[in-house]
Structure formats: C-alpha cells, structure tokens
Chains A and B, each alone.
Chain A
Amino acid sequence: MYRATVLVIDDDENVCDILKTSLIEAGYQVDAVLEPEIALKKFNEQQYDAVIVDLVLPKIMGIDLLAKFKEINPDTSVILVTAHPAIDTARLAVQLEAFDYISKPFELREIISKVKKAIDKTKGLREKREYGRTLEAKLIENLKDIEFQSQALKIEQERFYGIFKSASFGLMVLNGLDRRIILINDLCKKLVGVSHLSEQECFDKDYHHLIPQEISGQMDLLIHKLKEEHECVKAGPMKIGKDSMLEFHIYPVMSDGIMIAIAVMINDVTERKHLEKQLLMASKLAGIGELAAGIAHEINNPIGFVKSNMGTLNEYVEDITKLINMYHTLMSSTESGADTTEMIKSIKAFEKSIEACFLLEDIGKIVNENQDGLVRVTKIVNDLRTFTRVDEDKKGRVNINKVIRESLNLTRNECKYKANVKMELSEVPEVFGFSNQLGQVLIILIINAVQAIEKEGEIAVRSFQEGNSILVEVSDNGKGIDNETIEQIFDPFFTTKSSGEGTGLGLSIAQDIITKHHGKITVQSKVGIGTTFRIELPILPKPKEAVKT
C-alpha cells in the first residue's frame, strides 16, 4: 500500500524527531533533515507529497527554500513553520504559494491535520496536472490524426479529381442553387463543344452562356423534371450537331433534403447507336432467313406460271404473226384480182391447226393470270421491304391491329399448310412506338407458333385492353415448351431448332424491342397442350424516357 511521503526540515533536532515520530505514527513515510542542502538534494531525488519547512534556517531562509521547491516541483504542498511570524513573510509565503503557515509553538494535532490537507492538495494538483498531460497528449494525437486525415482527404480528393478528369463519359457538376458550373471534365467540354475553354474559364459560369442552345435547352428540361422528381432523369439518345448521338443522365446530389448539386452525365453513344442499327439490321436479316423458305415458295409459284405462260405466249404470237402475214398476202392478191380460192383454203387450214380462236381467247386469260402472278410477287417484295426498312422507321402512333394483320399477311404461307389462324382483335387504343419493330415481334411469334405445331393445329392472335395496357397474345396448340427450356427461350442464340433453321435470335430480339417500348413479354406453356406468348404495351408512353431509335 502506498504511503504518502513527507519531508521535514528543521535545524532543531528535537523538533525534527518529534515531527518525524508523530507523522510516522499518523501513517506517513517521513524524511527529517536538519540541513537545507540535504533537504534540497532529497527533494531533487524524490517526489514528496508534503514538505514542512522551518522558516528560519541556519544558512538559508526557509522562504528561499520554498521558492526552490516550487521551482523543482510546483505541485508539492509546502507548510511553513516559524517562531517569528511577520506580515511580510506571510505575504511572501502566499506569493510563493506556500500551502499553509504554522506558528511555533504548535500543536502536533494541528500539524498532522495540516499535513493531511497538504497531501490531499498535492495529490489534487498532481491529478490535475496528470489530467492536463493526458489531455495534451490526446490533443497532440488528435492533431496528428487530423493532419493524417486531411492528408488522406487530399489524396482522395486528387484521386476523385483524377477519375473525374479522365472519366470516359462527360461529367459536369452544377451548383444546386444557382445552377452554375462547379466542375466540368475534358470529355464533357468536348461533347458540348467548349474544348477551347479551360476549366477555370468554365467555373462558376451559367451553362447557358457556354453551351449550344440545343444542349442547354435539353438540360433545362431535364433539370426542371429533376426538381420535381428528385431522382435520376434521362434523355436521349438524341442527335446533336451533324452526326453525334448524345445520351443525358442527370442526378441530384442531395444533402439533408436539399439538392446541393446536380451531376450531368453525357454519353457519346454515336458508335453504339451505329452498332445497334447494324445489329437490328442483322437481326432483321436473321428473321428474313427464317421467313425465306416460305417466301421463296410464295414467289416461286407465281414466277413458275408467269414464266411458262410467257413462253407459251411467245409461241402463240409466232402462230398469229404467221396467220396475219397470210392475211396480208391474201389482201394483196385480192387487190390484184388474182384467184384466192386456194389461198383461203390454206388459211382456213392453218387457222384450224393453230386453233386460232382458242389462241385469241387464251391470250386474254394469260395476260390476266400473269398480271395476277406479278401483283402477288410485287406484294411480297413490298411486304419484305417494310420489314427490312431501318432508316425510315419512325416512332409514332401505332394501330396494333393493323400491325397484326400485316404480320399475318407476311407469314400467311408459313401458316396456311399447318395452322388455322384465328384473329380475335378488339378495338384498342393506339400505342406509341415503331410499327415495323412491333411487326417484327409478331412475325417472330407467329413463325414460332407455326413451328411448334407438328402437323396441324390452330393459332390464335388476340388483342385487347386491360387497364392502361394493350395486350397482344399469340397462342398455339402445338407441342409446348418444357420447364427447362422455357428458362432460356429469351436468351440470345438459344435455339431448339436445328442449325440453319433458326438463329436463336428471334425471341431475344422480340424481348429487346418490347422492353424498348416499355412493355413486357411473357410466356406460358404446357407440354402437349400449347404455348401462349403475351405482349403487354402501355397505351401512353412513360414521359420520363424517350423510346430509343
């Protein structure tokens, strides 16, 4: 157990002894010295909790000793003892922060009580100082921490700035309140056509003054929308300038419910759109591939009879030309008054041999039949042209029933040998989108339905309205799809058909197109019973996002 230490300095040996004995009895560890030098030495070596010093000592005044003690260890409480109390000394003692002042002769009880208080005071001061030191240490540590953090923050900031600068998309950050530019990266400057300006020159500027009107106008619209919805808004891809396609995403940066900044992300999708267009074309060609056999059949039939009829017609014309030449000869002979009896006989015989009456009648029929055949071929080619058109495909109001009829028309030959097609079309409102693309989806679904039928079956195409959606269903009573296969049918290049027969792109293209129209395509099937594909299209487009080209 710790015992408090007390140093006693008195040149009177008796006083020293008495004090020492009493203090030891009181439970303290006591050093009692006669000489001030020894006292100082001890005080230097050891930390005392209290000191009792006689004010009048042989070589040095107690008051000077007090000053030295305070210098060495200011926390230690010092009690002065004197036989000659004087005001000046008392004042000095107070100035030097002596703990207390005792007059000789003193009572031991008084001394012990004061020593106890002095020790408490010393401890209190030491604790305070200790606490101060801890605080200081902590403070230093915190300061170091803060310095480290600010260093890390700086690195982080530089890192983000680096990412921001070198991002592969255009990025501009606007002040949430006044919409002035806070940050803009190089790519963004390039995309909006202000490459010549430095970042500094753009800083704190109103974007309307820097950016071409066709882009800033778009941003105005989006920011207006952003203010209402407080979530990412998107626009595009839209044509900007000569041949760039840009896509805009605008995000709010929120803090405590306040939009403190607006992040504008601009993507150059020119290349992507170009590829998408090529892919769309390729997928259409893939679709045509599937149609090709049926269409070839549809074209080969009329070409077959038209071509053969032309050959026949040529022979007819040869015969008739011969006949007309004979008539000419007859005419000249009649004019010259020659005998024409024989000539008329041979003409009649020739007419009979070539069946002239039949020929004349049949020519009319041939012309009619050939016209019919050519009209059919023209129609097929026109239908195909509608199907393959990419550039002229414009977004607009689409009468889905019309699209259904056209698609059934184009797939008529696929259907007619295997399936009885039922159309159950209700009057439905128009949808917004690309009629050719929707037609493509229907053709894909119809061909799939036909192919699901092994021998003979039924296909039903329905349209009806349900809430805010238009539903189109294509059902067949063919072989159905098992559970394992149904999981994969929308995957690109997944096919159950043999190679050459199917590309595996049909349904993935269909899904892609319907998604772009903000719709859904789903399937329900039972093996041996049949399959129904259902397309759900919104009557009105979502205002937030434009349908892509």
Chain B
Amino acid sequence: MNEQVVLLIDDEKNVINSLKRLLRREPYKLVAATRPEKAFSILDRLKVSLVITNHRMEGINGDEIISRVQQKSPGVKCIILTGYTGDPKHSSRAWKVMSKPWNDTEIKETIREALEINTKTNALGITTNSEDI
C-alpha cells in the first residue's frame, strides 16, 4: 500500500490537534511534531510527501525548517501555515504560504493537490523539486 505521509510542524499543540481532527478522514497519514528536532528525526525515519510548517517558532522559522527538510528529503513539498501577517520575508522555498486562521476546505484541497502532483510525477518517473513547479 502506497499511503502518503503528511508532516505537521507547529509549536502550538492545539493547532496540531485541530488539524488532525480536520484531516482525520483524509486519504493520507498525518504525523505531527511540536518541536523542530522531533520533526527532523521523523524525517530521518519516514518518507514524507508533504510538510506543513508554522513560520515563527522559538529559535527557528519556517524557512529554516524548509531548507533543513529539503536537505534531508529533496523534492518534498512544503507549505507554510502562519499567523503572522504581512511578513515579506517568506521564503520562495515554500510551495505555498497559507494564513491562520485557515479555511478548512481550502487546506484540505491544497493538501490533496500537492499530493496528487506528487503521485503524478512519481508515476511518470520524474524527479523534481518544488522550485520547478
């Protein structure tokens, strides 16, 4: 079975809980980390198809997380989900930047879209990274 894994990174436990509830019936597996180190150790052990990360966290921001993620797993798509408004420094490394509070339907569709693109490219045997899309 080729079930895809989505990794959630947010230092706010409640945010992770609500996303887990929201995505509980979705056709992929969710793993979550409230600390970046935990997220990196997951990446070492698990093949992840999509990372959704918060932007501002203690000692690290979403951009730095994305660059670490892409070092470990090249080509993995990343979405930044941030409550910070008007921050112009969001990285172009992110496939998408989404705001908190999020729209439930939109976030579900965006994740599906990201995973479908992954499936298609994998099926064609093409390796790519996020910048090319």
Q: Decide yes or no whether B125 CB sits under 8 A from chain A.
A: no
List A contacts of B83 (CB < 8 A): 296-301, 304
- In the complex, what distance in Å separates the CA atom of A158 from the CA atom of B85? 67
The verdict on A300 contacting B18 (CB below 8 Å), with A311-B104, A456-B59 known, is no
The verdict on A308 contacting B104 (CB below 8 Å), with A297-B85, A300-B99 known, is yes
In the complex, which of the residues B12, B56, B85 contacts A305, with contact meaning CB atoms closer than 8 Å? Answer: B12
> Cβ of B56 and Cβ of A417 under 8 Å apart?
yes
User: DSSP class of A's interface residues: helix, strand, loop or mixed?
Assistant: helix
> Cβ of B58 and Cβ of A303 under 8 Å apart?
no
Q: Decide yes or no whether B22 CB sits under 8 A from chain A.
A: yes
- In the complex, what distance in Å separates the CA atom of A305 from the CA atom of B12? 10
- In the complex, what distance in Å separates the CA atom of A365 from the CA atom of B21? 11
- In the complex, what distance in Å separates the CA atom of A303 from the CA atom of B102? 9
> Cβ of A307 and Cβ of B101 under 8 Å apart?
yes
Q: Decide yes or no whether B114 CB sits under 8 A from chain A.
A: no
> Cβ of A372 and Cβ of B14 under 8 Å apart?
yes
- In the complex, what distance in Å separates the CA atom of A16 from the CA atom of B5? 159
Smallest CB separation, A298 vs chain B (Å): 8
Q: Mark A365-405, 1 if CB is under 8 A from B, else 0.
A: 11001001100000000000000000000000000000000
Smallest CB separation, B34 vs chain A (Å): 13
The verdict on A301 contacting B58 (CB below 8 Å), with A293-B84, A293-B85, A311-B104 known, is no
Smallest CB separation, A488 vs chain B (Å): 27
Q: Decide yes or no whether A42 CB sits under 8 A from chain B.
A: no
- In the complex, what distance in Å separates the CA atom of A306 from the CA atom of B15? 9
> Cβ of A308 and Cβ of B102 under 8 Å apart?
yes
The verdict on A300 contacting B100 (CB below 8 Å), with A312-B18, A366-B21 known, is yes
> Cβ of A416 and Cβ of B58 under 8 Å apart?
yes
- In the complex, what distance in Å separates the CA atom of A362 from the CA atom of B86? 34
> Cβ of A312 and Cβ of B22 under 8 Å apart?
yes
Residue of A nearest to B81 (CB): A304
In the complex, which of the residues A293, A297, A305 contacts B18, with contact meaning CB atoms closer than 8 Å? Answer: A305
- Contacts of A448-473 to chain B: CB distance below 8 A: 456
Smallest CB separation, A306 vs chain B (Å): 8
Q: Decide yes or no whether A47 CB sits under 8 A from chain B.
A: no
- In the complex, what distance in Å separates the CA atom of A348 from the CA atom of B8? 33
> Cβ of A301 and Cβ of B104 under 8 Å apart?
no
- In the complex, what distance in Å separates the CA atom of A262 from the CA atom of B15? 71
List A contacts of B21 (CB < 8 A): 308-309, 312, 362, 366
Give 14 new A-B contacts, CB below 8 A, not counting A298-B83, A300-B85, A366-B21. Answer: A293-B87, A297-B82, A297-B83, A300-B84, A301-B15, A304-B83, A304-B100, A305-B12, A305-B14, A307-B101, A309-B18, A311-B22, A417-B57, A417-B61
Residues of A within 8 A of B (CB): 293, 296-309, 311-312, 362, 365-366, 369, 372-373, 416-417, 456
13 A-B contacts (beta carbon < 8 Å)? A298-B83, A300-B100, A301-B15, A301-B100, A303-B100, A303-B101, A306-B18, A308-B21, A308-B104, A312-B22, A362-B21, A373-B14, A456-B59
Smallest CB-CB A-B distances: 5 pairs: A300-B83, A304-B100, A305-B18, A304-B101, A308-B18
